[in-house]
Structure 1
Amino acid sequence: MRFVSTFALGALVALAWCRPSARQTAGKPVFAHYMIGGITAEHTHQDVVDAKAMGMDAFAMNINIFADWSTGTVDSLFTAADELGFGLFFSFDMSPGYFNDPSQYASQLQSYLSRPSYYKYNNKALVSTFGGESVPDSSWAALKATVGDVLIVPGFDQATPSANFFDGRPSLDGMLNWNSWPTQQQGIVPVSDADDITYMSAAHSASKIFLMGISPLQYKHMDSVNNWYRRGESNLEVRLPQVLAMQPDMLEIQTWNDAGEAHYVGNIWPEPMSGSPAIIAYTEAYNHTGYKNILAPFIHAWKTGATTTAGMVPTNGLPVQGTFWHHTLLTTSDCSSDPLGKPGGVENVEDVVSGVALVAAGQTDLILVVNSGTTELGKVSLTPGYNAFKVGGLVPGKVTVQVWKGSVMVGGGSGGIEVAASAALCNYNFQVVGFPS
């Protein structure tokens, strides 16, 4: 048998669980980026229930237009959040074609700031963005003059990290580095925290906030312009230890429900995608809620002061709990009938099964076995705590992961979609499986 390397890091002293309410104004908050679509009140309520159950504090609501469908969803979210003690704040979309100056959303923002569930940090309402790098500081200052002394922490993906990043940006209170994935040009590499370290150092030197992103992958396959892949291999399982070691001020999971870019960890409802058949095609059978098996214990570790992942253990009372993920197309698969072709960055895809297995304290001699079809890809020796694994050699067939203690299987799971050697769609979304299932 072939053993594949794994890692488990350090030790953690167990501390009491603390889950802040929406009104908490400091601490170690965790947010999830939430795309505002035309979503029913029933579904927005369920999203709030599920996010709170995972330990999250608030949704960063990405809104790019004020219309009946978008403000209706925002109102439904606030109704649910007010009722359930969850937080919400706006992340205004300032990418090309949407808002280009804060004055365009000042009045809408102001109308929600008095809601009980509008998220505050250090007693200031939090406001974020996607984009807006070219907005002059005077415009951010004008926003504060209009709505009050809010906390402006924009999310930038086109900025250049530097030690003096906040020079000339005195009105900003912090920033989120949106780039939580390697670029296509970087090739087959693990996700890096180098830019995050630079941004955080710059923020703290200027007495400002650094909001760090966490994301499993980025894959878009909508049209000839929006057809790319940014690596999920060696990403999430690497990112979680990075975050705990760095200790940023806040975390934002990218995302709760962005089906279009395939980095959703929560529910993706049918109604906002009803007019987007391309997105439906590469997401409808690809449920990602299995990530919660590792994200909820991670959030607990983060909030209780852990600086390593070593103390992350199952929350299900069983010997093992975890999540694995993989593509359902091989790097060599034929999908030539797809008019869009394979996505840009496909050369960085790997034929691997990746994941994290959390093992309860005192559990020894556990072996994780990965199979693809009738082929055993490898075995991983597990130790108590956090075990990240990445097993190569993916071949066509159903992928299964099983954890054995001697002759007894103590956990495992399998995906409902088999890996294929050919397909009509060049779909490099992840199949995500939580286990035991």
Structure 2
Amino acid sequence: MYRSASLLAWISLGAGALAGLVPKATTNKPVFAHYMVGGVLTEHCRQDIVDAQSLGIDAFAINYDQYAWWSNNTVNYLFDHADELGFKIFFSFDMSGDYFATPSEYSQFLGDYIARDSYYTYNDVPLVSTFGGESVTTDEWKDLRSAVGDILIVPSFYQTPPSATFFDEYSELDGIFNWNSWPQIAEGKVYVPTAEDKTFQSAAQSSGKLFMMGVSPLQFKHMNTDNNWYRRGERNLEYRLGQVLSLQPDMIELQTWNDAGESHYMGNFWPEVITGDAIPAYTDGYNHTGYWEILPSFIQAWKRGDTTTANMVPTNGATAQGVFWHHTLLTTADCSSDQIGKPAGIENASNAVQGIILVKEGQTGLTVSVWSGSTLLGTKKLVAGFNRFVFTKMTTGTVTAQVLNGEDVVVGASGPLAVVDTASVCNYNFQVVALSA
């Protein structure tokens, strides 16, 4: 059932006037994952879709930034495998930097795909997103709609500050995706904030538009001196899940499936996509699929309409299931031989181990203990459902976490990479370790 006001607006405006009030879906709450289009092999495109489906993801928002044989091949692979497997795809055109400047540059390309069965639609209308595009004019968005027909335009902006009157200026948009799912460096050592989300959501609701919210673990980029920053991941993902459930946006997008360059990949990233030595220097050996231990339960809670994380439980049939993550280089470490240097914002990082443990319904008496080398960082009692933890004062050595029932180990794991206090690369990517029976 649609919200009555939105439905009346839809009827009165007509199906062609999609930049007005947008009817809201109250079921099948969509979950997307941002997917960087590189030169991905066809078998890897298929595997990405299979893995995303297994987690409960509805569609990839594919970041497309240029016409090239390799990018066009990847797009075709993704759509072909999505047709085969019953998955969905939609475009997120990259309008940052030196990429697309106006929608007219990709309108014909978009038109070749939106009629495909595998193109994602919201209430039967194709969805189109962007990364950036703040400078696109109302007339240019109108021209895109005229060129391709009825579409929902929900861009992701990261430079324009939110305001209550946002849609007065951007009236041709059908919604907004707040890209900023991490604190700004200047905000310091804070929990992941929701102020921008709440302002955008309020503006969208008052204008009958859509609001999309992001979910991401951290942002760390270390490619060269101009691309070298750390946006705080501590107190982020373990709180962001609850924020999303509490705010109940219209859509959510995982940031990202495979952006190795910014370290917030939550899925596979394939070696054929990475060129040069910079990105492998801080991503090789840093597999992030440990997040898959908690994502299905979160997505199920989201689709049920839960407003808290309380009822997130294991999805693998085990007593407990979870994941923990941490840096493998101390914030005070010596990495002076790295010519790029420590990233901007490193002062906001912490020598800490954080994680999420899901405990089956009705289970009592469990605890989680975390060691850094031979040092016990701490122990915490667990409750049935969702548990988050953080233990500070991480030192050098291997990090180990165990869920215990008395003296019996229910589930445990150690990170394959030890924490060090000196390195040739100032690497502040997260090591992500699954806790799965």
TM-score bucket of the superposed structures, by smaller chain: over 0.9
Give yes or no for contact 2:27–2:303 (8 Å, CA) kept in 1.
no
The DSSP-based 3-state class of the residue aligned with 2:381 is: strand
Q: Deviations over 1:197-216 (max 9, x none)?
A: 11001001100000000100
Q: 1:99 offset after TM fit, Å?
A: 0.4
Give yes or no for contact 2:182–2:232 (8 Å, CA) kept in 1.
yes
Distance in 2 separating the partners of 1:276 and 1:177: 31
Does residue 1:435 correspond to 2:435, yes or no? yes
Distance in 1 separating the partners of 2:199 and 2:411: 41
Distance in 2 separating the partners of 1:87 and 1:364: 40
Give yes or no for contact 1:26–1:121 (8 Å, CA) kept in 2.
no
Q: 1:281 offset after TM fit, Å?
A: 1.0
Counterpart of 1:6?
none
Counterpart of 1:123?
124
Distance in 2 separating the partners of 1:26 and 1:238: 24
What are the equivalent positions in structure 2 for 1:353-364 lying under 5 Å apart? 353-364=353-364
> Sequence identity, in percent?
58
Distance in 2 separating the partners of 1:168 and 1:428: 39
Distance in 1 separating the partners of 2:317 and 2:126: 38
Distance in 1 separating the partners of 2:414 and 2:29: 34
Q: Deviations over 1:280-332 (max 9, x none)?
A: 11101000000011111100110011111000001111110001000000111
Give yes or no for contact 2:200–2:211 (8 Å, CA) kept in 1.
yes
Letter in 2 for 1:210: F
Give yes or no for contact 1:337–1:425 (8 Å, CA) kept in 2.
yes
Distance in 2 separating the partners of 1:226 and 1:218: 12
Counterpart of 2:33?
32
What are the equivalent positions in structure 2 for 1:34-433 lying under 5 Å apart? 34-273=35-274, 275-433=275-433
Give yes or no for contact 1:25–1:121 (8 Å, CA) kept in 2.
no
Change (3 A) 1:278 1:295: same
> What 5-or-longer segments of structure 2 have no aligned partner?
1-24
The DSSP-based 3-state class of the residue aligned with 2:311 is: coil
Change (3 A) 1:245 1:266: same
Q: Deviations over 1:377-402 (max 9, x none)?
A: 00011000100111101000000000
Give yes or no for contact 1:166–1:202 (8 Å, CA) kept in 2.
yes
Q: 1:168 offset after TM fit, Å?
A: 2.7
Distance in 1 separating the partners of 2:104 and 2:394: 51
Distance in 1 separating the partners of 2:122 and 2:26: 4
Q: 1:432 offset after TM fit, Å?
A: 0.2
Q: Deviations over 1:125-158 (max 9, x none)?
A: 0000000001111100110000001000000000
Q: 1:26 offset after TM fit, Å?
A: 6.2
Q: 1:375 offset after TM fit, Å?
A: 0.5
Give yes or no for contact 1:291–1:323 (8 Å, CA) kept in 2.
yes
Q: Deviations over 1:26-77 (max 9, x none)?
A: 6300000000000000000000000010000000000110111001000000
Distance in 1 separating the partners of 2:206 and 2:385: 35
Distance in 2 separating the partners of 1:305 and 1:175: 21
Give yes or no for contact 1:25–1:120 (8 Å, CA) kept in 2.
no
Counterpart of 1:15?
none
Q: Deviations over 1:179-198 (max 9, x none)?
A: 00001100000001111011
Counterpart of 1:11?
none
Distance in 1 separating the partners of 2:120 and 2:166: 26
Q: Deviations over 1:242-299 (max 9, x none)?
A: 00000000000000000000000000100010x2211011101000000011111100
Distance in 2 separating the partners of 1:421 and 1:143: 53
Letter in 1 for 2:156: G
Counterpart of 1:20?
none
Distance in 2 separating the partners of 1:241 and 1:35: 26
Distance in 2 separating the partners of 1:268 and 1:377: 32
Give yes or no for contact 1:60–1:89 (8 Å, CA) kept in 2.
yes
The DSSP-based 3-state class of the residue aligned with 1:244 is: helix
The DSSP-based 3-state class of the residue aligned with 2:111 is: helix
Letter in 2 for 1:186: E
Q: Taking structure 2 as the reference length, what is the TM-score of the superposition? A: 0.93
Q: 1:25 offset after TM fit, Å?
A: 11
Q: 1:365 offset after TM fit, Å?
A: 1.1
Letter in 1 for 2:407: S
Letter in 2 for 1:423: A
> What 5-or-longer segments of structure 1 have no aligned partner?
1-23
Letter in 1 for 2:258: N
Change (3 A) 1:124 1:25: farther
Give yes or no for contact 2:293–2:436 (8 Å, CA) kept in 1.
no
How many residue pairs match? The answer is: 413
Distance in 2 separating the partners of 1:96 and 1:77: 25
Give yes or no for contact 1:362–1:384 (8 Å, CA) kept in 2.
yes
Give yes or no for contact 1:25–1:123 (8 Å, CA) kept in 2.
no
Q: CA RMSD in A?
A: 1.0
Letter in 2 for 1:150: I
Give yes or no for contact 1:400–1:412 (8 Å, CA) kept in 2.
yes
Q: 1:237 offset after TM fit, Å?
A: 0.4
Letter in 1 for 2:372: S
Distance in 1 separating the partners of 2:436 and 2:202: 40
Distance in 2 separating the partners of 1:316 and 1:408: 20
Distance in 2 separating the partners of 1:55 and 1:25: 17
Distance in 2 separating the partners of 1:112 and 1:276: 32
Q: Taking structure 1 as the reference length, what is the TM-score of the superposition? A: 0.93
